[in-house]
């Protein structure tokens, strides 16, 4: 098949990564599903030789990925809640937001962030298509539009007098199949002096630290600052500031405004654009050897699990996260070498991981089973998981992460 770039329309011919076939990473299974056929899709990334947008080659319809049973709840992570609260405090001061302002969050999930604006008396609106998380936000008193965001919805909201002083999009920009329509919607919904902030994993860090496990069907795009600047410009937006964050293994928070705004572009934007060019992100060679690096990470992880089994060591996983599902399915890991994974989200407990069919249990079982090794699959919150399970360490459990290399408590194996 042939495919054109989702942004610029150029034909895609260069493959960046091939992880074979996998089910959607958040399609958790019930026990009754285990005897039924499981749908899988190609999980491959292409890179555009024109605008250098890295993107999935094949993808399913968005409404089949983010359905009413979607199981990711942002409030499960204490670290992410703290990150959201700190952002709200900062942006309220920076933009002088008050009871006379209006804030919109796209992909507002369970209200993890907007509840801070609600508490501060700043009017807000969430846009969230997945019913389970939207209902959790509404239970907090947050108004929510149960729809996917794009230019059409932005037009409706603008016509209804709901244009925004601030639009927030945390870890949603990579999730939209039509990134141009989404970006035009941002421009349409902003007030003349409004600001949009988007957070997303930085492609530069993904490549630098071999973070192939952040690839899954729900992520349609993998973004550099240079590519985002091009997309913004085409949509009538201006990228005027950027911050580098440690979240999700290295993310960007970009600040945008309408193209006719008089906001000055900061030096941080120019500096990071220069850094991306210095590393070669605007040339095909930068994307050439990522496949072999992903396979090295996968092989080391699988070798560790097989060695632990041979030695009679007990192993458990922690965090039924999308990135863990990508790694486990790419490596062909099954319950014979990873018997169970624990997760703090009640919505995932009692279910089974897609593809691998590994059961998901409550973290409460760890105190009883005391595994020799606890594999932290969402390595980006490894420190948080270790703190929460410090009592296990005292009993002899060693914590392990697999990306960017297999490590036990910070020591390379």
pLDDT of residue 80: 85
Res. 235 pLDDT band, cuts 50 70 90: very high
In angstroms, rounded to a whole number, what is the distance separating the alpha carbons of residues 47 and 5? Answer: 8
3-state secondary structure of 211: coil
Q: Which domains does the chain have, with CATH numbers?
A: 74-287 (3.40.50.150), 301-412 (3.40.50.720)
166 is written with which tokens? 């601030």
Query: Does the pLDDT of residue 64 top 60, yes or no?
Result: no
pLDDT digits (tens, 9 = 90+) for 168-197: 999 999 999 999 999 999 999 999 999 999
Please state at what angle helix 267-279 crosses helix 225-235, rounded to 10 degrees: 120
pLDDT digits (tens, 9 = 90+) for 35-44: 999 999 999 9
pLDDT of residue 222: 97
| 60 vs 402, higher pLDDT | 402
pLDDT digits (tens, 9 = 90+) for 238-276: 999 999 999 888 999 999 999 999 999 999 999 999 999
pLDDT of residue 413: 47
pLDDT digits (tens, 9 = 90+) for 336-370: 999 999 999 898 999 999 999 999 999 999 999 99
Return the HEC string of the chain: CCCECCCCCCECCEEEEEEEEECCCCCCECHHHCCCCCCCEEEEEEECCCCCCEEECCCCCHHHHCCCCCCCCHHHCHHHHHHHHHHHHHHHHHHCCCCCCCEEEECCCCCCCHHHHHHHCCCEEEECCCHHHHHHHHCCCCCEECCCCCHHHHHHHHHCCCCEEEEEEECCHHHCCCHHHHHHHHHHHEEEEEEEEEEEEEHHHHHHCCCHHHCCCCCCEEECHHHHHHHHHHHCEEEEEEEEECHHHCEEEEEEEECCCCCCCCHHHHHHHHHHHHHCCCCHHHHCCHHHHHHHHHHHHHHHHHHHHHCCCCEEEECCCHHHHHHHHHHCCCCCCCCCEECCCCCCCCCECCCCCCEEECCCHHHHHCCCEEEECCHHHHHHHHHHCHHHHHCCCEEEECCCCCEECCEEC
pLDDT digits (tens, 9 = 90+) for 2-56: 699 999 999 999 999 999 999 998 899 999 999 999 999 999 999 999 999 999 9
In angstroms, rounded to a whole number, what is the distance separating the alpha carbons of residues 243 and 233? Answer: 19
pLDDT of residue 79: 81
Least Cα distance to 258 among 241, 235, 237 occurs for 237
Name the pTM for this structure: 0.89
Res. 68 pLDDT band, cuts 50 70 90: very low
Query: Does the pLDDT of residue 59 top 70, yes or no?
Result: no
Q: Are 146 and 133 in contact (CB under 8 A)?
A: no
Q: Are 283 and 385 in contact (CB under 8 A)?
A: no
Mean pLDDT value of segment 282-287 = 95
């Amino acid at each position: 098949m042939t495919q054109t770039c989702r942004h610029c329309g150029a034909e895609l011919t260069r493959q960046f990564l091939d992880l074979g076939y996998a089910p959607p990473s958040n399609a958790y299974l019930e026990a009754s599903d285990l005897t039924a056929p499981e749908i899988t899709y190609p999980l491959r990334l292409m890179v555009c030789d024109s605008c250098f947008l890295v993107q999935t080659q094949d993808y399913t319809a968005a409404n089949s990925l983010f359905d009413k049973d979607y199981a990711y709840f942002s409030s499960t992570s204490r670290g992410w809640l703290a990150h959201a609260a700190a952002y709200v405090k900062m942006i309220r001061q920076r933009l002088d937001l008050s009871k006379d302002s209006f804030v919109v969050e796209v992909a507002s999930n369970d209200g993890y962030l907007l509840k801070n604006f609600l508490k501060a008396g700043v009017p807000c609106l969430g846009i969230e298509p997945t019913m389970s998380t939207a209902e959790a936000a509404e239970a907090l008193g947050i108004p929510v539009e149960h729809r996917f965001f794009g230019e059409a919805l932005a037009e409706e909201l603008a016509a209804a007098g709901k244009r925004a002083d601030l639009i927030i999009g945390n870890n949603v920009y990579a999730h939209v199949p039509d990134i141009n329509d989404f970006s035009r919607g941002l421009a349409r919904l902003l007030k003349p002096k409004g600001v949009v902030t988007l957070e997303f994993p930085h492609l530069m860090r993904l490549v630098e630290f071999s973070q192939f496990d952040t690839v899954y069907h729900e992520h349609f795009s993998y973004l550099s600052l240079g590519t985002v600047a091009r997309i913004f410009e085409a949509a009538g937006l201006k990228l005027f500031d950027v911050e580098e964050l440690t979240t999700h293994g290295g993310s960007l928070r970009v600040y945008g405004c309408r193209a006719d705004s008089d906001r000055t572009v900061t030096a941080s934007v120019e500096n990071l654009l220069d850094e991306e060019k210095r590393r070669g992100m605007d040339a095909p060679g930068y994307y050439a050897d990522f496949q072999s690096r992903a396979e090295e990470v996968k092989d080391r992880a699988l070798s560790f699990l097989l060695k632990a089994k041979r030695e009679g060591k007990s192993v458990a996983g922690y965090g039924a996260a999308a990135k863990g599902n990508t790694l486990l399915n790419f490596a062909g890991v099954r319950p014979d070498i990873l018997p169970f994974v624990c997760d703090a989200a009640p919505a995932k407990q009692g279910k089974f991981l897609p593809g691998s069919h590994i059961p998901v249990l409550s973290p409460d079982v760890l105190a009883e089973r005391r595994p020799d090794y606890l594999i932290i699959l969402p390595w980006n919150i490894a420190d948080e998981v270790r703190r929460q399970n410090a009592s296990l360490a005292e009993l002899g459990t060693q914590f392990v992460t697999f990306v960017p290399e297999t490590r036990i408590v910070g020591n390379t194996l």
